[in-house]
Amino acid sequence: MSKVAVVYWSGTGNTAAMADAVEAGAKNKGAEVTVFGSDDFTADKVAEFDGIAFGCPAMGAEVLEESSFEPMFTSVEGSLSGKKIALFGSYGWGDCQWMRDWEERCNAAGAKLACESVTANNAPGEDVLDECKSLGAALV
């Protein structure tokens, strides 16, 4: 059975709602899914999963959340070469620069982005939640 991890940080619940849909999409396609808060994921876990979805909103000035998600991702990105991953997250007033920068970083690390990243302007609507389900399915 395909093993998928969903690793996310969310301050006000918008990215968490997306993570729930990613989990559902991967499970619907038959994967065994483990969900981690960003404090609980470490580089040594990467090898346990066939696919990993990372979720983080735009914070600071178009950056990843800096106290938990960013340090976790920095420690993990050296292990992502060849790994099937996908990115998602919510944003407020920006133009998704944080997501473009994040994708570039993942490509530089040699990760394989399994599908287009999914972004939600604030709370995800049904259409975005469907895209999150497809993102989860793409990792299986």
Ligand X SMILES: Cc1cc2nc3c(=O)[nH]c(=O)nc-3n(C[C@H](O)[C@H](O)[C@H](O)COP(=O)(O)O)c2cc1C
Q: At closest approach, how far in Å is the CB of 112 from ligand X? A: 25
Choose the binding region for ligand X from 13-21, 66-74, 80-88, 100-108 (rule: CB under 6 A): 13-21
How many C-beta atoms lie closer than 10 Å to residue 132's C-beta?
28
**Is 38 one of the binding residues for ligand X (CB under 6 A)?**
no
Among the listed residues 4, 6, 7, 14, the single contact to ligand X using CB under 6 A: 14
Which residue of 7, 15, 114, 139 would you call a contact of ligand X, by CB under 6 A?
Answer: 15
**Which secondary-structure segment (H or E) carries 132?**
helix 126-138
Contact residue for ligand X among 30, 78, 92, 110 (CB under 6 A): 92
Task: Write out the two tokens for 32.
Answer: 């065994």
Assess 110 for contact with ligand X (CB under 6 A).
no
134 CB-contact burial (10 Å; exposed 0-12 / middle 13-18 / buried 19+): middle
Is 12 a residue that touches ligand X (CB under 6 A)? yes
Maximum Cα–Cα distance across the chain: 40
Rule CB under 6 A: which residues touch ligand X? 10-15, 57-62, 90-94, 122
